[in-house]
């Protein structure tokens, strides 16, 4: 067990609280293992009807995974520890996605990367005015993993492709509008909501629906048509050309902003993310998706862009990554094929 996660039961409800506030509750391998063990125990316990997932204190639900561990592994041990982290974190994602009892995730505050991976499998996902949802991985040479391919590819209007490529942040109202959250509550009501769920774990849906409070208008709705139009293609070059044409022909400030945002991201992982979502949309099971994402993660971890992206954005904070390849045109189909190729049979990802 680890002090970075608090595990309790309250009557017929299991309760997991992330407790690493200085890192905005970013997941370590020990935290993933502790969560998995608790969920496995409660799955077989007839006395537990439901699970609450939240954070103990601080300004975010979960800021992601242990990026520094991944970079250290990429630079020092050929990715061995990094692959283990991906493998076991993905097992937790799959365990939650197939869990036999309802999980209620309270996405109060920053919910990014690995935090998305443990929030979106929950049957009930509660956003608040503090929610800041994003999958910002392409900015550090990674890709929207932890089941991102599955979840994002199943949003309408090419919104998933937009979020995967740009790393755009959504607030709580936007998460509800997009279907990423199932409910919206003002943060001041969360303690009451949890108390009511503990009191009546058999009727979580009713408890959440009865709580007062309606979200403000989702700002992203105003850009939905633009997103659907410009991010319609699975080819990065087409998306960039569409945005560029809107800038040149119409002087669109929105298109200029998104074009410039994409210009800061790793061309390799932008193309990886587009293919990932296209492939995931065709898959029948979350298990197959996680197997694909583990293949991608195992390769991308050791590609130059990951260590370089983390250096520029997180370590040195210079925000001047030198991507390899440097342009979308240089990211070949052969390179993408090698990133998505099956692993040797004994190295493929397996669920718990």
Query: Domain 1-352 adopts which CATH fold?
Result: 2-enoyl-CoA Hydratase; Chain A, domain 1 (3.90.226)
Q: pLDDT, tens digit, for every residue of 272-330?
A: 999 999 999 999 999 999 999 999 999 999 999 999 999 999 999 999 999 999 999 99
> What are the residues facing 183 on neighbouring strands?
126
Mean residue pLDDT across the chain: 97
Q: pLDDT, tens digit, for every residue of 32-46?
A: 999 999 999 999 999
Residues whose CB is less than 8 angstroms from the CB of residue 10 and which lie 6 or more positions away in sequence, other chains included: 198
Average pLDDT over every residue of 20-24: 94
Number of CB atoms found within 10 A of residue 338's CB: 11
**pLDDT number for residue 2:** 80
Average pLDDT over every residue of 229-248: 98
Above pLDDT 70, what percent of the chain?
A: 100
**pLDDT number for residue 173:** 98
Residue 10 has pLDDT above 90, yes or no: yes
Return the domain boundaries, the chain.
1-352
Least confident of 14-23, 53-62, 76-85, 198-207: 53-62
**pLDDT number for residue 226:** 98
Residues whose CB is less than 8 angstroms from the CB of residue 80 and which lie 6 or more positions away in sequence, other chains included: 73
- CA 290 to CA 53: how far, in whole Å? 22
Average pLDDT over every residue of 229-241: 98
Residue numbers annotated as active site: 65, 114, 137, 145
**pLDDT number for residue 1:** 64
Q: Confidence band (pLDDT; 50, 70, 90) for 214? A: confident
- CA 151 to CA 180: how far, in whole Å? 8
**pLDDT number for residue 168:** 98
Q: Per residue, what are the HEC states of 8-26?
A: EEECCEEEEEECCHHHCCC
**pLDDT number for residue 212:** 83
- CA 139 to CA 167: how far, in whole Å? 8
Give this prediction's pTM: 0.97
Q: Which of 281, 276, 285, 249 is CA-nearest to residue 336? A: 276
Whether the Cβ atoms of residue 262 and residue 239 lie closer than 8 Å to each other: yes
Whether the Cβ atoms of residue 306 and residue 74 lie closer than 8 Å to each other: yes
């Amino acid at each position: 067990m680890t002090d970075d996660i608090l595990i309790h039961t309250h009557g017929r409800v299991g309760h997991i609280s992330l407790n690493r506030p200085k890192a905005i509750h970013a997941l370590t391998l020990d935290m993933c293992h502790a969560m998995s063990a608790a969920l496995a125990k409660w799955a077989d316990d007839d006395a537990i009807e439901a699970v609450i997932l939240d954070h103990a204190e601080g300004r975010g639900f979960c800021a992601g995974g242990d990026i520094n561990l991944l970079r250290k592994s990429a630079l020092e041990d050929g990715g061995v520890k990094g692959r283990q982290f991906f493998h076991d974190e993905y097992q937790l994602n799959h365990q939650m996605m197939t869990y036999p009892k309802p999980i209620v995730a309270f996405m109060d505050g920053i919910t990014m990367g690995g935090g998305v991976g443990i929030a979106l499998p929950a049957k009930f996902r509660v956003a608040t005015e503090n929610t800041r949802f994003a999958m910002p991985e392409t900015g550090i040479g990674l890709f929207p993993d932890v089941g991102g391919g599955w979840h994002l590819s199943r949003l309408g209007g090419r919104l998933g492709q937009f979020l995967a490529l740009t790393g755009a942040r959504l607030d709580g109202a936007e998460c509800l509008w997009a279907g990423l959250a199932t409910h919206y509550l003002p943060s001041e009501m969360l303690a009451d909501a949890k108390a009511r769920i503990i009191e009546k774990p058999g009727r979580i849906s009713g408890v959440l629906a009865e709580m007062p409070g309606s979200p403000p208008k989702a700002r992203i709705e105003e850009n939905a048509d633009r997103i659907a139009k410009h991010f319609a293609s699975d080819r990065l070059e087409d998306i960039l050309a569409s945005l560029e044409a809107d800038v040149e022909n119409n002087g669109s400030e929105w298109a200029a902003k998104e074009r410039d945002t994409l210009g800061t991201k790793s061309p390799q992982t932008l193309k990886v993310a587009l293919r990932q979502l296209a492939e995931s949309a065709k898959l029948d099971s979350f298990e197959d998706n996680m197997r694909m994402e583990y293949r991608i993660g195992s390769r991308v971890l050791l590609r130059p862009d990951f260590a370089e992206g983390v250096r520029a954005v997180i370590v040195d904070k210079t925000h001047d990554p030198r991507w390899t390849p440097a342009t979308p045109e240089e990211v070949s189909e052969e390179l993408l094929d090698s990133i998505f190729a099956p692993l040797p049979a004994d190295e493929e990802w397996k669920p718990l």
